[in-house]
Amino acid sequence: MASHIVGYPRMGPKRELKFALESFWDKKSSAEDLQKVAADLRSSIWKQMSDAGIKYIPSNTFSYYDQVLDTTSMLGAVPPRYNWTGGEIGFDTYFSMARGNASVPAMEMTKWFDTNYHFIVPELGPDVNFSYASHKAVDEYKEAKALGVDTVPVLVGPVSYLLLSKPAKGVEKTFSLLSLLPKILPIYKEVISELKAAGASWIQLDEPTLVLDLDSHKLQAFTAAYADLESTLSGLNVLVETYFADLTSEAYNTLIGLKGVTAYGLDLVRGTKSIDLVKSNFPKGKYLFAGVVDGRNIWANDLASSLSTLKELEAVVGKDNIVVSTSCSLLHTAVDLVNETKLDDEIKSWLAFAAQKVVEVNALAKALAGQQDEAFFSANAAAQASRKSSPRVTNAAVQKAAAALKGSDHRRETNVSARLDAQQKKLNLPILPTTTIGSFPQTLELRRVRREFKANKISEDDYVKAIKEEIKKVVDLQEELDIDVLVHGEPERNDMVEYFGEQLSGFAFTVNGWVQSYGSRCVKPPIIYGDVSRPNPMTVFWSSTAQSMTARPMKGMLTGPVTILNWSFVRNDQPRFETCYQIALAIKDEVEDLEKAGINVIQIDEAALREGLPLRKSEHEFYLKWAVHSFRITNCGVQDTTQIHTHMCYSNFNDIIHSIIDMDADVITIENSRSDEKLLSVFREGVKYGAGIGPGVYDIHSPRIPSTEEIADRINKMLAVLETNILWVNPDCGLKTRKYAEVKPALSNMVAAAKLLRTQLASAK
């Protein structure tokens, strides 16, 4: 029986690619050095899967930034501002599109479906001259073949690529991106022909947009595209892979009707309803790649349950036509449990990272073929039973408190307009108040201090002294720049979710459980294995310390419950909303302690609220109801004079703007500049927003420093659609990934722009 992996993590077990990328960007190493690290990683991944017995091993899932940007490069769809003159796209053009450069900004970055992974959004229009400009897919297939591994080359499918794109600046928003299919399909044909010539017998085309709510016009585009590709695909086995949700019956029928396609990949973890579609109608002689091993979470597979599902499906599709697979790419999970030396044995027995999931896939394939590894299955059953019965998973007091939340919507008693008046009397801020989002640059010295404290190489007194000195430096800098509402810079935190999870019960932590978020940015999601509570205050000491250093308002900085949930590996033995309510109660305790300590501005970040929105519109209302409710729970008990901020970034918020308003925050700061200010369009269309709002005035994910004039121009665009008395001036996001050499001039220009506008507004009265 055959086995398949949709995709695999790229960063390496110890983030080797991250460090190689950053060294290259900092001009400390050459392109050849970066390529060598990448080649070594690819080689080890292919060998690992081959040694594990996987039959269908993917290639071209490795990327220096993201797979959609790789496809943009393959198609030569480089926006004109990067001055690409043709030929094979090199690192300079590739990374300029991803990160910007000294003279031009980066392309927009947004979330990959409902994950914490990001992609660079293609900018397309009728005048794009597509050309075959990156041979990466063919090169990597040949590279694997030379190592003795015959792989399945993976491409982002042509229809999904277009549906994930946006009209370029200056192109009508109504422009039909699907009208470009006839222009990109010839390049796909070139790539496929080269792969055939190189010896490929299988090819995987990822079409994840098939799981979205698509109208008949969009579904027809899949039918037309694959009909056009049919003759080129002839002679190849073609897998069309979908993931992250169920297919509608219309999308399923479109999928199984595609010309030239041999096999269909379905996510049977998040798309369990698709099983019924397979049972009711599956094309004779075709292959089902059954995604029963979860590619998005770290819990060990329930092998007995999965094997039962596979046997049901085998009876429908045929013994030789079912392939055991992951539900999606393993990119979204940590790399290898072997590297976790500090997790206790009980919790470790409940987990499976990417390397273990590869073994699970092969074990299920062998079991389906009648070669079940009884010892492996027995150990798995024991781990499943241990997790269900472990006393550390359940806390009766927490469950009782969460159950008591029902029956109230937890709104603050006074409306936002009256609260803002009360807060202004207390804070006395100027119009267009300036602030930042929370974090300041994480220097090598700061990282060293945290690392040595964790390793018990320095005392707690020395650690506290060093962190206080860093906070003082950040506070002094903000006062020097004349920023109005300050932050302490978060020097005590490596990661905004990990920091809180380490202080909450019900969480476990890894040493090397890194997951790629975008580019070289990696996160280490905590593992929520049990009921959640807050044993002790988490941030009060540091926020109070920072406030004592300045007379200006100092923001208390918290991560909101929905973001903690969506940026963690969440327990799968109870509904997600129940876990979220538990986290909300813990954050509520912290908010109220901050207020008691004299912190008058408290930011509760919900950067990932939009990210968790289900892919199906029919499920939006339920999710938004409990997600927004969870946020309100955290701050429903504070006084009118305590100003509650929240922050959101790198998603499309326009379709949930009414839910954002319903969060009832006093001020929201929100990403805006990198996405071509499309957030502002919702206000142009007449949505009234009465709370404070700070659409980001510059992109912090690029090293580029915006001028005062550029920022002032952005603020003027905001003033055209927002009231002066509610507008805040701030960057898009936190500054931890930037260097002080970039942060100081950028913030200086931001403050100068705010002052310039204040002067102009005053003189216009």
Is 701 one of the catalytic residues? yes
514 annotated ligand binder: no
**Catalytic position from the list 4, 488, 645, 701:** 701
What residue has token string 């005035």? 697
Q: Bridge partners of 508?
A: 527
**What secondary structure does DSSP assign to 54-89, as a single string?**
-SBEEES---SS-HHHHHHHHTT---GGG---SSS-
- Nearest CA among 701, 693, 702 for reference residue 666: 693
> Which uninterrupted H or E stretch holds 508?
strand 505-508
- Nearest CA among 211, 77, 201 for reference residue 134: 77
522 annotated ligand binder: yes
18 annotated ligand binder: yes
DSSP H helical ranges for 493-649 = 496-501, 540-547, 561-566, 576-596, 620-635
What's the CA gap between 474 and 477, in Å, rounded?
5
- Give the rounded distance of the alpha carbon of 62 from its chain centre: 17
- Give the rounded distance of the alpha carbon of 525 from its chain centre: 11
328 annotated ligand binder: no
Assess contact for 360 and 310: CB atoms under 8 A: no
135 annotated ligand binder: no
Amino acid at 254: T
For 191, the 3-state DSSP assignment is helix
649 annotated ligand binder: yes
- Nearest CA among 80, 63, 167 for reference residue 119: 63
Contacts for 140-145: CB closer than 8 Å, 24+ residues apart: 140/42, 140/59, 140/60, 140/62, 141/59, 141/60, 141/195, 141/198, 141/200, 142/198, 143/39, 143/42, 143/59, 144/42, 144/46, 144/57, 144/59, 145/198, 145/199
List phi, psi (to 5°) of 522: -120, 150
3-state secondary structure 156-188: ECHHHHHHCCEECCCCCCCCCHHHHHHHHHHHH
611 annotated ligand binder: no
Query: How far is the first Cα of the chain from the last one, in angstroms, to the nearest whole number?
Result: 78
Burial class of 456 by CB neighbour count within 10 A (0 to 12, 13 to 18, 19+): exposed
Amino acid at 45: I
Could you list the residues known to form a binding site for 5-methyltetrahydropteroyltri-L-glutamate, using ranges. Answer: 18, 116, 521-522, 567
By annotation, the residues acting in catalysis are 701
Annotation: binding site: 18, 116, 437-439, 490, 521-522, 567, 605, 647, 649, 658, 662, 671, 733
Detail the residues annotated as belonging to a binding site for Zn(2+).
647, 649, 658, 662, 671, 733
